[in-house]
Amino acid sequence: MSIYRMLIGGALVDGDAEMDVINPATGKLLASCPRGSAAQLDAAVAAAKGAQPAWASLSLEERKSALIKLADGLEARSEEFARLLTMEQGKPLAESDAEISYTIAFIRYCSALSTKVETIEDGPDRRVELHRKPLGVVGAIIPWNFPLLLIAFKLPPALVTGNTIVVKPSPTTPLTALKLGELCAETFPPGVVNIVSDANDLGERLSAHPDVAKISFTGSTATGAKVMQSAAETIKRLTLELGGNDAAIVLPDVDPAEVVPALFGGAFMNAGQVCLAIKRLYVHKDIYDDVCNRLAILARNAIVDDGLKPGAQIGPLQNRMQFDKVKGFLADAYAAGKVIAGGKPIDRPGNFIQPTIVRDVTDGDRIVDLEQFGPILPVIKFSDPEDALARANASSLGLGGSVWSKDVRRATDLASRMDVGMAWVNKHLDFGPGIPFGGAKQSGIGMELGDAGLTEFTQLSVLNIAL
């Protein structure tokens, strides 16, 4: 019998069925957990719908103080959450600690945000005001790479603006989300937050549900397209945070000893399973060999182990399906270029792959053109920065990108011309709760975080008064 429960209408409940959750570091059963049914998802949506008017009519201060209580509750149990996160997701404990700290900080930051009535015209004949109203019930669909932090991208702004929410975690990482449900049960009025775990079979129903006003989705571009289709009939609001194939362009004036550790970190954090990880590294020909060799040394020396083991730097791939997908990319890497570090799964239980550096590859190779979402970094040689920029921009994806140079003005000029939602200079993967987060092209629609993210959980409503 599972010790985990879903949260529906204020009650912690068993699933109509159960399902297994596997520890990716051992390949063994970690826990069994509820598998929600369609009827339970409908009950969660009905509870959220029923609770929404009363929640929206609370004062802003009351809604904010509930969010702060949630952050406090998570902080008090942060060690327990971090260990569970490592066991279900695989990331090293230090990265789990960071994810929990970020989750707490994001909830706190958002609890201080609010929307205001804006007067855009005032007399003599009319006053025109812009109001921001809650949408109703929000469906939040979460992937498996940041199971808690990505809830903190969605739940706080949804709630602070007066919406209620149904959260659907990923089927392979539902446990920390369900634990968060225990805190939510103590914190919010019944129905305001609902958490329903599934076996990858309820996302479509949530996206199509007539009583859900908006879907905030993070996941792959392929699934994002399905969400759009499901949501079309009821004209739902959508925020889609989808796949990335971020390019980093390294100009010849950098000091390789200085930048290579940062490039390596930007590519291999969370075993490369980060939407914003560096997934294509364009390096100028003058420093290409040096950068490749330094990356290979870091990759060979990286400690790949169970995230609970002290000193582990890179954990396993989160699930077997992703592990098999990345093994396919390894085969492509050998065919397309030269593998100078890693290149194979580690012979032990669990989904471990040695960090892999592939050189002498180029655009058009699968390993460069597609999002690998694993510990593989293709390094591409260029001679003209404008050509590198054109190649970086040729992707159908456009989440993030970076340019690295001692000449910050030149790098800034190139970075500002990247077709992405988030461009960096001399860093990658830097984000925070006040900075809008989202992608261009097929990396998504809309923005999360900051004021831009907050307003996506509201309906802009014009009030036009004759004077």
Residue ranges binding ligand NAD (CB under 6 A): 141-145, 168, 170-171, 200, 203-204, 207, 218-220, 223, 226-227, 230, 241-244, 275, 371, 373, 399, 439, 443-444
Q: Taking every pair of C-alpha atoms in the chain, what is the biggest distance, in angstroms?
A: 78
Closer CB to ligand NAD, residue 66 or residue 180?
Answer: 180
Nearest 10 degrees: Cα torsion 94, 91, 173, 163: 50
Nearer to ligand NAD by Cβ, of 277 and 295: the residue is: 277
- What distance in Å separates the CA atoms of residue 245 and residue 442, rounded to the nearest whole number? 10
Q: How far is the CB of 128 from ligand NAD (least distance, A)?
A: 35
Determine the straight-line distance between the first and last CA of the chain, rounded to whole angstroms: 66
In the complex with ligand NAD, the residue whose CB is nearer, 150 or 283, is: 150
Q: In the complex with ligand NAD, which residue's Cβ is closer, 275 or 336?
A: 275
Residue 403: burial class (beta carbons within 10 Å; 0-12, 13-18, 19+): buried
Calpha distance 403→282 (Å, rounded): 9
Minimum distance between the CB of residue 173 and ligand NAD, rounded to whole angstroms? 8
Helix (H) or strand (E) holding 397, with range, is strand 397-398
**Complex with ligand NAD: residue 245 or 313, whichever CB lies closer:** 245
The residue behind tokens 């390993």 is: 367
Note whether 143 and 89 are within 8 A (CB): no
For residue 359, the minimal CB distance to ligand NAD (Å) is: 24
Distance CA 23, CA 90 (A): 7
CB nearer ligand NAD, residue 35 or residue 391: 35
Q: 366: burial class by Cβ within 10 Å (0-12, 13-18, 19+)?
A: middle
Report the 10 Å Cβ neighbour count for 420. Answer: 26
Active site residue 275: yes
Residue of 145, 144, 165 lying closest to 154 (CA atoms) = 165
Residue 142 · residue 93 · CB < 8 Å: no
Residue 268 or 373: the one with the smaller Cβ distance to ligand NAD is 373
Among 95, 241, 371, 448, the one annotated catalytic = 241
Tokens of 395: 């992707």
Looking at the Cβ atoms of 361 and 447, the one nearer to ligand NAD is 447
Rg (the chain; Cα; Å) = 23
CB nearer ligand NAD, residue 150 or residue 339? 150
Determine the residue with CB nearest ligand NAD: 203
**Tokens coding 272:** 């490369």
The answer to whether 402 and 357 are in contact (CB under 8 A) is no
What is the smallest separation between the CB atom of 127 and ligand NAD, expressed in angstroms? 39
Least Cβ distance, residue 22 to ligand NAD (angstroms): 15
DSSP letter for 304, please.
B
- The C-alpha atoms of residue 434 and residue 100 are separated, in whole angstroms, by 17
Catalytic choice (275, 292, 448, 456)? 275
Q: State the minimum distance, in angstroms, from the CB of residue 381 to ligand NAD.
A: 26
Catalytic residue at 18?
Answer: no
8 Å CB contact between 141 and 34: no
| SS3 state at 51 | helix
Taking each helix axis from N to C end, the angle separating 175-187 and 78-89, rounded to the nearest 10 degrees, works out to 150
Q: Compute the least distance from the CB of residue 408 to ligand NAD, in Å.
A: 27
Q: How far is the CB of 401 from ligand NAD (least distance, A)?
A: 13
Find the shortest distance in angstroms from Cβ 203 to ligand NAD: 2
Helix (H) or strand (E) holding 65: helix 60-76
For residues 288-310, one letter each, b for 16 or more C-beta atoms within 10 angstroms of the residue's C-beta and e for the rest, the string is beebbebbbebbeebebbbbbee
Structure token digits, residue 212:
């859900």
Q: Active-site residue numbers?
A: 241, 275
